[in-house]
């Protein structure tokens, strides 16, 4: 890593080059802006799409859990209806 003084000089040189390039070729400014905006827009879109899919998956998991609980309740109701005389289903035949 460069010492702070040399790093400052390197950054100063870099900024001068960028400024001169923008001054000499002003059409580069919108082109570079677009070049940086497109990947950013794609990344943002991908983030929201992934987040939406995550929420859909979470909803589906909850639906599956509720269906499983409903199925257990139905099975318990059927078992209780089949053995009304026995509170604990052990030993009933």
- Position 87 pLDDT exceeds 70: no
4-29 pLDDT per residue, tens: 888 999 999 999 998 999 999 999 99
C-alpha of 17 from chain center: 39
Euclidean distance between CA atoms 13 and 15, whole angstroms: 5
- 92 neighbors 83 (Cβ within 8 angstroms): yes
| DSSP 3-state percent helix, strand, coil across the chain (nearest 5) | 80, 0, 20
Query: Cα–Cα distances in Å, from 3 out to 7, 16, 43?
Result: 6, 20, 35
Domain boundaries, the chain: 49-80
pLDDT in tens, 31-81: 989 998 999 999 999 999 999 999 999 999 999 999 888 887 777 776 666
Give the model's pLDDT for residue 24: 94
């Amino acid at each position: 890593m460069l010492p702070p003084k040399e790093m400052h000089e390197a950054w100063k040189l870099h900024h001068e080059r960028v400024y001169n390039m923008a001054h000499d070729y002003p059409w580069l400014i919108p082109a570079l802006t677009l070049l940086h905006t497109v990947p950013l827009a794609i990344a943002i879109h991908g983030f929201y799409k992934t987040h939406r899919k995550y929420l859909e998956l979470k909803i589906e998991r909850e639906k599956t859990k509720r269906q499983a609980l409903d199925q257990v309740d139905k099975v318990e109701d059927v078992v209780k209806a089949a053995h009304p005389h026995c509170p604990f289903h052990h030993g009933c035949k």
